[in-house]
Amino acid sequence: GKPFWEKPLSQWDASHTVGLRSHYICSVFAARQMVPQGSGLIVNISSGGGLQYLFDVAYGAGKCALDRMSADMGKELKPHGVAVISLWPGEVKTEATEEKNLFPNGESVFFSGHAIAALLKEPDLMRRTGKVVMTTELAIEHGFTDIDGQIPGKELLATLRRGLGRPPFQWRPAVPASKL
**Active site residues per annotation:** 59
Backbone Cα Rg of the chain:
17
Q: Do 115 and 135 meet the contact criterion of CB atoms below 8 Å apart?
A: yes
Rounded to 5°, the CA angle 135-136-141 comes to 100
Q: Do 43 and 64 meet the contact criterion of CB atoms below 8 Å apart?
A: no
Q: Which residue, among 171, 17, 93, 83, has the nearest Cα to 9 in the 3D structure?
A: 17
A 10 A CB-CB count for 155 gives: 11
